[in-house]
Every structure is written in C-alpha cells, then in structure tokens.
Structure 1
C-alpha cells in the first residue's frame, strides 16, 4: 500500500514541469503557463490533476494529439461571445487564452462567454474560473472529457467526468470556489487510489456488466464511472443531467467532439475515426459583479453569507462547516511553505521523463 509522501519544493517542481513542456516544443511563455496550471492543482491539494498528469500530456504529444505551438484563433465572435479554435494545443494554454477573452468581453458588456473546440485536457477548472475573481468578477469554467461515465440505467460509457466550476469573489474571506466533477468522483481519484493500492468507495464505479465495484482499476478493464448520485435511487439522474449540460455547452455549442466521441485521454487511447467535431471542448464565462450592484455592497453581503454559513450549528463540534473551496485554500497555504507532496510512483514517473529529456531529476 503506497501512502508514503515526499514533499518537493514548489520552485523545484515548477522548474521541472516547465522544462518538460519546453522539451516537447512549447514556447517559454506557454511552458510557464502550463506548469502554473498543473502546480495550482497540486498546491490546492488536487493531486489527481497536478504534475501526476505530466506523463499523460507527453504521451498525447507522442501520439501527435497535442500541438506544442498552436495558433489559437477566434473563429466566431459577437460583443459578448466568441468561439475559439485551440489548434490542438494544450488545454492548459488554450483555456487561459479563452478566459482572457471572456474577461475582456465581460468588462465591456457585463458578461462574456467563450466556447472552445479543438483543445485537450485543461487541468483543474478552478484555475480558469479563478482568473475572474482577480478582476472582481464571477467566473465559470467547464469541459467535456473522455467517455468513462454511464448515463443512468446504462452500462455503456457515454460521458466524461465533465467538471464544472463557479468562483465568487469575496471581501475579507477567500473566494468561494465550487469545482467538481459531475460524476461521483473524478477519474483522477481512482488513479490516486490505484497508485496507493486502496479500494474506492461503493457507488463510484461499476464493472463491465454494470455491477457495483470498489476496485480502483475497474475502469481500465472496461468498467465505468457513475454519475453524481451513484444510482437512480440516490439521484444519479441529476448528475447525469449536469454532465449532459456540460457536454453540450462545451462541445455541441463549440463544434468539439461530444458524448462517446470525445477523444480519450492517454490511458484509454483508441483510434480517432469518424469524429463529429474537433478535439475536446470547453466553455468559459465571466460576469462583472458591478454590472448588477456596487462591488462594495456585494462584498459586504457575500462576507456575511460566508460568515453565517461557517457559524452554522454543527453535528460534531470537532468538524467545522466548510465553505466551497476552503479546504483547497488552506492546502495551498501549507503546500507553498512545506512543499508539494508526491507519492513515490509519481516521482518515479516524473524522473523517467527527466531521463528521457535529459533534465535535472527531482
């Protein structure tokens, strides 16, 4: 059972990650940005979407699924909306490019909306949505993903984990960050459990025959993840509906591949034939708070909202009520000082990249 962790200094891990992206042909600016997105995940304790994914991006590059020097362009535009062609670039680079456009449009129109096609895995949705908070705006980010999730009453993989994130700026408190998969768990959490040789909770996944499974490797053997809720009796139709909306916004609206045609991530590489769209899709949005009311009044009320929820009567006095995004914010405070924890298998994978690209090992 792998549970031992080694903490790596943020600066060291950041340089290593940048060096890998430079080695596959990214520009200096793009390598720094892509590394920043991955490090943000690790700093916030979302290790399923941090540097553990780095070997996956390299394998996508090996398969010529990633263009390290994309010519990202606007293909359709109105004053408040745009559609972006990511030119098969790293989603880690394409999505921030698109979010900047959404923010500019929101600055002028009150809100801005950008659909993205021909992209790849974009890291944590929270990174992109938090860009809005820096401008005193409300942010939104969503993406479709490899089909690993079954619709309610099905055993066929039709949807991705399809995460969605909303961010709300606050005053004296950290921002509210609601960043979640629309499946019962992100696939990365199964990968983390598998690396640690741990079972997964009941209700996360089912085997190829549609029977419940607690085996972290079940998806790699043809099984599937379940929509948020797990089964119909526990509300899986609601998770299914959320996932469907993310898929449609991200891919049908943008012109990317949707549903079972979404390009698989590296662990599930299949031939990409007869696809209806281009690459993976994302959908990003931003609202200017002061388009609705003065920002000072909003911040006074959002701080009151947060404070009141934090003081809600507890079931167990030792367990405080948590505001969305609070655990990740606290993890970042610790990890910036103490270093980012890596399990040995992830460190070994990264050092294999170091040998391949002749860069300094961790």
Structure 2
C-alpha cells in the first residue's frame, strides 16, 4: 500500500493524541516517525507505532511527561525524560545542547528515563539546521552478543554524526553498531526472507540466516560479524554508546536495558532509569568560518563522488545520500507500507476511532 505522507502524518499524530499526548508532543512524535519512513528507514517509522502504544498500555511510557534538566554545567546537562516518548525526550535534549552550543560553542546532553527515540539522524540534523555539527546516539534493549559471547548484553546502539555542507546536502553518518539493526530482522520476518550470514547467531553461537533466531535464544552480532572481520570494533563502538548514553546519565545499561516489546517485562533490579541517549552540538564557527567549512566539505564531497570505482556502473555513495533520495521520491510518490504494517495500523485506527488508512 502506498500512503500519502500528509495522510500518514495526521494518522500517526491522531494515535498519539488518542493515548493522551499533548498536541505539541503528538505532532513532534509523528514528525520523527514520518521522517524515518520518508528517508526509507522503514524499520523505525510508523511500523513502530503499535509498539509505543503497547508500552503505554503497560504504563512503561508516560504520555504526559515532565521532562526536566536534572543536572547541568554551562556546556553539559543530564535530562530526565520522566518515562516519556523518546521521540519527544531526545529533541528536548538536543534543543538544550543547541542552546548551550549557541552560547558556549558546544553542548553535550546525556539522557535517562527515556524510551526508543526513533532514528538518530532526526536529532543530529536538528543541529545541522543551526550550522552546527550534530551527534546523537542511544542504547537499546539487549539483543547483541559481544565478541566471543553467547549472551545478549548490548543493544543495536546506533550513533549518528551530521555535518552541514554548502552546495551539497549534509553528510549524515547514521548507523547501528550491530551487524544489522533489529528492524532489519523484522522486515525480513514480514517478507518471509532469510538474512545474510554474519548478522545473527543461534543460542549456541553458530551463524544462522533465520530472522526468527532471536526468539529462540539467538543474538545479533556486533558490526563486523566475527573477530576475524572486526567485530571487536563494533563491540567497542557499541560499548561507547552504552557508556555515554546510560552509565553517564543514570539510565539502565547493558543487559538491564528494558525491552521495547511490551510482552517482556523489564529486568529485575534495574541499575538506572529507563533507556539512555546522548546528544551533542558543536558550532562550526568555533573552529573556522562556517562558509569556509562548508566550501571545504563541498570539495570533499565532490572529490569522493568522482572517485574511480572498481565497477564503472557503481559510484561512491556519500553518507546520507540514499536517505535523501528516498525522501525526495516518497514525498511525491507516497510511503510504501507492507501488508502486515498496514493491517496493524488499521487495527489501531479501529481501536481509537481514527479514520482508516487507505492507499493513494
């Protein structure tokens, strides 16, 4: 089903309103999810909407949070999200970081007591709009086994770095620190497809291509797959995200991070509050004039785009280009929803008395 983006945006906003979110929060949360779908990151868009609703039903998401700064210095802060939607808490934290950067050159905010915050790129790009370099990362429920381990101790723990350019669009490096995001497995499950070897292991630590392996005790692998292919580097990146997002803020870390799914209870004896994020903003003009930086980054982009490739039919892809191309296409031609997601969303519509989604 192809759905008009504006129709899907209103639908999503209405669902958030139905669970008690304010108009401001419902609009913002819908914008974060729609940005994901527009940019072609289907695993983190409206396909997650029913997940947020189920967590709200379990009283694990607060629809009316009192988001506060719990601790701060001129350039740093810790935000307590009051169990609110991460889709709302993370933008609040980034606004704090931007305000500090505007005054002092950079701002760094660690977040506790939050929930899943959508795509990291949304939050990092908020800084780019202010001619700043943006950083955003989050820890997540434990699905990833560290190198050599059979235990699930880390999340997919994504990180994003976004840089403002001049003539060209921003460079956006947005990636999971696991071999694949859990959402990629969910997409494969919906489509009835196997996943590439190196993404996941079974409960005994053997490679498998079964996207359902997590349900039987398996684990995602760190970026790199195995030690011979650099999984220790992915493990290190994931550990960095976990420490900055949670150990620093007072959120749950490692195996204590609560699951996104409502049918699983959070671990007993939590070590913190909710899940954690870390966001930051740095003023480019704290290092050199903005126009000079943008001109240099444009030159950097242009040189890489003209790189000689092994296969003449291929080209070097600048980080952020595929998402930008998807956004341009989907804004005009609609957002594709697989049948399972469309059915799921219309079940929400019937429950909350929202108009059913229809194709274009």
TM-score (norm 2): 0.98
Worse overlay, 270-279 or 19-28: 270-279
The equivalent of 1:22 in structure 2 is 17
CA distance in 1, matches of 2:201, 2:130: 42
CA distance in 2, matches of 1:299, 1:152: 39
- Would the aligned equivalents of 1:91 and 1:119 in 2 still touch at CA under 8 Å? yes
5+ long unaligned stretches in structure 1: 1-5
> Is 1:337 the counterpart of 2:332 in the alignment?
yes
User: Per-residue CA shift, 1:241-268, capped at 9, x if unaligned?
Assistant: 0000100000000000000000111166
- Would the aligned equivalents of 1:247 and 1:258 in 2 still touch at CA under 8 Å? yes
- Would the aligned equivalents of 1:69 and 1:89 in 2 still touch at CA under 8 Å? yes
The equivalent of 2:354 in structure 1 is 359
The equivalent of 2:102 in structure 1 is 107
The equivalent of 2:245 in structure 1 is 250
- Would the aligned equivalents of 1:203 and 1:226 in 2 still touch at CA under 8 Å? yes
> Is 1:196 the counterpart of 2:191 in the alignment?
yes
The equivalent of 2:132 in structure 1 is 137
- Would the aligned equivalents of 2:159 and 2:177 in 1 still touch at CA under 8 Å? yes
Q: Secondary structure at the match of 2:137?
A: strand
Worse overlay, 312-321 or 234-243: 312-321
The equivalent of 1:173 in structure 2 is 168
User: Per-residue CA shift, 1:147-187, capped at 9, x if unaligned?
Assistant: 00001000100000000000000000000000000000000
- Would the aligned equivalents of 1:220 and 1:268 in 2 still touch at CA under 8 Å? no
5+ long unaligned stretches in structure 2: none
The equivalent of 2:279 in structure 1 is 284
- Would the aligned equivalents of 1:113 and 1:284 in 2 still touch at CA under 8 Å? yes
- Would the aligned equivalents of 1:138 and 1:286 in 2 still touch at CA under 8 Å? yes
Instruction: State the shift of 1:272 in Å.
Output: 3.6
Aligned match for 2:56, one of 57, 61, 71: 61
TM-score (norm 1): 0.98
> Is 1:86 the counterpart of 2:74 in the alignment?
no
CA distance in 1, matches of 2:217, 2:186: 15
- Would the aligned equivalents of 2:258 and 2:266 in 1 still touch at CA under 8 Å? no
The equivalent of 1:3 in structure 2 is none
Alignment of structure 1 residues 70-81 onto 2, 5 Å: 70-81=65-76
Q: Secondary structure at the match of 2:177?
A: coil
The equivalent of 1:295 in structure 2 is 290
CA distance in 2, matches of 1:331, 1:132: 22
Q: Secondary structure at the match of 1:146?
A: coil
Aligned CA-pair RMSD: 0.7
Q: Give the total of aligned pairs.
A: 357
CA distance in 2, matches of 1:69, 1:221: 36
Q: Secondary structure at the match of 2:299?
A: helix
The equivalent of 1:31 in structure 2 is 26
CA distance in 2, matches of 1:243, 1:118: 19
> Is 1:327 the counterpart of 2:331 in the alignment?
no
Aligned match for 2:219, one of 216, 220, 224: 224
> Is 1:309 the counterpart of 2:308 in the alignment?
no
Aligned match for 1:118, one of 97, 113, 118: 113
Alignment of structure 1 residues 146-161 onto 2, 5 Å: 146-161=141-156
- Would the aligned equivalents of 1:81 and 1:113 in 2 still touch at CA under 8 Å? yes
Q: Secondary structure at the match of 1:188?
A: helix
Instruction: State the shift of 1:270 in Å.
Output: 2.6
CA distance in 2, matches of 1:337, 1:248: 41
